Structure 1
Amino acid sequence: MSSIKVECVIKEKNAIGEGPVWEEKDETLLYVDISGQKIHRWNPATNQIQTMTTEKPVGCAVPRRSGGYVIGEGTRFAAVDWGSQAITTITHIDADKPNNRFNDGKVDPAGRLIAGTMALEERPAVLEPKQGSLFSLHTDLSVVKHFSQVDISNGLDWSLDHRTFYYIDSLTYTVEAFDYDINTGGLSNRRMVYRLEKDEGIPDGMCIDSDGRLWVACYNGGRVIHIDPHTGARLQTVKLPVQKTTSCCFGGRNYSDLYVTSAYLGMDESDLAKQPQAGCVFKVTGLGTKGIPTNSFAG
């Protein structure tokens, strides 16, 4: 086994760092600060960060094939022109729930954006339950609501054969799977593949590796766990020097680096003194596996 190394690579802190995406074309890491209302692009080669401010909390940002990004911000899907820093509404969702906001989202292998909502938090992980839903933004810019009654819509990814969709509603403390129809974007046959243990924290963002196994960031658990969704076994635990680990993605030239975002929102002064890197972004190397390229929104 190669030795695992955890390194703090982005020292600029995020209130709620989230949704890391590796942009292969520019070799940059795209991520958001949800409550900080910012989209960041970090270039590891130059260590420069470009930042853009959003109007409302931004749950996710994904690359768009035609250029720029699509974001889930407040209760709208919107297009971002990075050059002009302009944000244009694509469509609004949850019209009857003004106290909702988008959370995590990701693009499926056919180019659709799947993203979910949740109620605005009173404080981290304390919110009105069952207010969220899971949506797809199709490439024709139409929206489909898959299901509602979600507490905190979170991590998501697809199996390597595109037939299974993995999903986390954080406060169920489970990772679930659905059968996925890549032609229609339809979901069916919901089932549990992993239940977190008490000390593991709250399941948050996740990604899949080239072996078809999942890496789940555990909020309040200070770790990323590596699970086999076929057997329900936890294969590995990677500890981080911060408790509020929020999401992860593979990146780097051959997708062998695991980038992990974190948060400091809700921590008091003594917590922050013990965890000076809370809110930073970390790079984990030596895992012995790698990720797969990011999908871009095709609409």
Structure 2
Amino acid sequence: MEKEFISKPLGTHRNLLGEGPLWDEDKSILYWVDIQLAEIHQWDFQTEVHTTYSFPVRIGAIAKRSDTGFIAATEKGFATIEIPSCEIHFIGNPEEQLVHNRFNDGKCDRKGRFWAGTLNENGVKEAAALYKLDHSGKFSKMLADVSCSNGIAWTADYQKMYYIDTSTRSIVEFDFDEQLGLISNKKLVLLVPATDGIPDGMTIDQQGMLWVALWGGGKVIKIDPKKRMVVGEIKVPSKLVTSCAFGGKDFKDLFITTASIGYTEKEFSEEPLAGCTFVVSQLEVGGEPSNHYISSI
């Protein structure tokens, strides 16, 4: 196991359901969402100023667009978003008829397609799905019978895609056809023991190691997907760890979002940093810049 790293909070803001950290290397800004409060948060590393932007819908995930603004997966489907104006333009909702479903986690692949999945807020199993949004704004269902769509990551050569359906407690691997944007040949990478928490968001480093946030586990684990084993961990002073992403100088900082939803006063007194967004500075191996959504619409 690696040496112990320290998770330090960014400021004092407490998220209700912090998710989806996204590093903007051009501006040295970290973005993340608070899904339940329908907010996008911005932390400027040059000024250390924290800014909150409020929206009329809950946002599960965002990615930068190649031209301007963001692509977003929301409770009402795919949309484009502008900051600081908070303009939002809806593209389409593949699950408009499923009123208890909302979009959750999502990321762009190297070709600029946006992959995002849904969950059922009543906890109905296998009632959600994973979708792909192409450059023209057309969406396709890529996986059915999903319960809680979460982390996505690709290998550097884009031959493999890793994916988490949280309710299964599993990290799985697919063969990835980058040209066509198709997945096949599902295999289990790791089953997380229930006593460790459940897998949520995920990122990948330059050596192909997976970093997975454990909801209820108070940590991020490092997985070697080839050996199919945990090879490290970072403890977080907040139990409900939701996601992680690389950024900062040389992309060697790991940003970690957490939640405080459902906490009692007693739990807050025991866990005063619950819901904070954290940074672990200068890991030995960093990650890669996030991909942008390339739009022709």
TM class, shorter-length: over 0.9
Determine the structure 2 residue equivalent to 1:203. 199
Matched, 1:188 2:184: yes
Summarize the alignment of residues 104-123 of structure 1 with structure 2, pairs less than 5 Å apart. 104-121=105-122
Matched, 1:234 2:235: no
Asked whether the 8 Å contact 1:214–1:228 carries over to 2, the reply is: yes
Q: How many angstroms does 1:2 deviate by?
A: 6.3
| Segment of structure 1 superposing worse, 256-265 or 285-294 | 285-294
SS of the aligned residue for 1:5 comes to coil
Determine the structure 2 residue equivalent to 1:57. 58
Asked whether the 8 Å contact 2:4–2:234 carries over to 1, the reply is: no
- Residues in 2 aligned to 1:45 and 1:34: alpha-carbon distance in whole angstroms: 26
**What are structure 1's unaligned runs of at least 5 residues?**
122-126
Q: How many angstroms does 1:3 deviate by?
A: 5.6
SS of the aligned residue for 1:254 comes to helix
- Residues in 1 aligned to 2:3 and 2:185: alpha-carbon distance in whole angstroms: 38
Asked whether the 8 Å contact 1:80–1:87 carries over to 2, the reply is: yes
1:246-265 CA deviation, whole Å, 9 max, x = no partner? 00001102101000000000
SS of the aligned residue for 2:251 comes to coil
Determine the structure 2 residue equivalent to 1:124. none
| Segment of structure 1 superposing worse, 12-21 or 268-277 | 268-277
Matched, 1:270 2:266: yes
- Residues in 1 aligned to 2:131 and 2:253: alpha-carbon distance in whole angstroms: 29
Q: What root-mean-square deviation, in Å, do the aligned CA atoms of Structure 1 and Structure 2 show?
A: 1.2
SS of the aligned residue for 1:166 comes to strand
- Residues in 2 aligned to 1:76 and 1:56: alpha-carbon distance in whole angstroms: 10
SS of the aligned residue for 1:10 comes to coil
Asked whether the 8 Å contact 1:3–1:286 carries over to 2, the reply is: no
Choose the corresponding residue for 2:281, options 272, 280, 285: 285
Determine the structure 1 residue equivalent to 2:160. 164
Q: How many angstroms does 1:56 deviate by?
A: 2.1
Determine the structure 1 residue equivalent to 2:24. 23
Asked whether the 8 Å contact 1:2–1:288 carries over to 2, the reply is: no
Amino acid at match of 2:43: W
Asked whether the 8 Å contact 2:77–2:96 carries over to 1, the reply is: no
SS of the aligned residue for 2:267 comes to helix
Q: How many angstroms does 1:51 deviate by?
A: 2.1
- Residues in 2 aligned to 1:277 and 1:288: alpha-carbon distance in whole angstroms: 25
1:170-223 CA deviation, whole Å, 9 max, x = no partner? 010110011111111111001110111233201000000000110000000000
Asked whether the 8 Å contact 1:2–1:286 carries over to 2, the reply is: no
Amino acid at match of 2:133: L
Q: How many angstroms does 1:166 deviate by?
A: 0.4
**What are structure 2's unaligned runs of at least 5 residues?**
none
SS of the aligned residue for 2:7 comes to strand
- Residues in 2 aligned to 1:17 and 1:260: alpha-carbon distance in whole angstroms: 9
- Residues in 1 aligned to 2:247 and 2:59: alpha-carbon distance in whole angstroms: 22
Q: How many angstroms does 1:130 deviate by?
A: 1.4
Determine the structure 1 residue equivalent to 2:85. 84
Asked whether the 8 Å contact 1:75–1:93 carries over to 2, the reply is: no
CA distance 1:292–1:4, change in 2 (3 Å):
same
Determine the structure 2 residue equivalent to 1:146. 142
Asked whether the 8 Å contact 1:4–1:286 carries over to 2, the reply is: no
- Residues in 2 aligned to 1:165 and 1:54: alpha-carbon distance in whole angstroms: 31
Amino acid at match of 1:78: A
Deviation above 6 Å: which 4+ runs of structure 1? none
Determine the structure 1 residue equivalent to 2:240. 244
SS of the aligned residue for 1:199 comes to helix
TM-score by length of 2: 0.96
1:143-184 CA deviation, whole Å, 9 max, x = no partner? 010121111100011011111110000010110011111111
- Number of matched pairs: 294
Q: How many angstroms does 1:286 deviate by?
A: 4.6
Determine the structure 1 residue equivalent to 2:130. 134
- Residues in 2 aligned to 1:5 and 1:277: alpha-carbon distance in whole angstroms: 13
Q: How many angstroms does 1:271 deviate by?
A: 1.1
| Segment of structure 1 superposing worse, 91-100 or 14-23 | 91-100
- Residues in 1 aligned to 2:281 and 2:230: alpha-carbon distance in whole angstroms: 19
- Residues in 1 aligned to 2:68 and 2:230: alpha-carbon distance in whole angstroms: 38
Asked whether the 8 Å contact 2:55–2:86 carries over to 1, the reply is: no
Asked whether the 8 Å contact 1:37–1:58 carries over to 2, the reply is: yes
TM-score by length of 1: 0.95
Matched, 1:255 2:251: yes
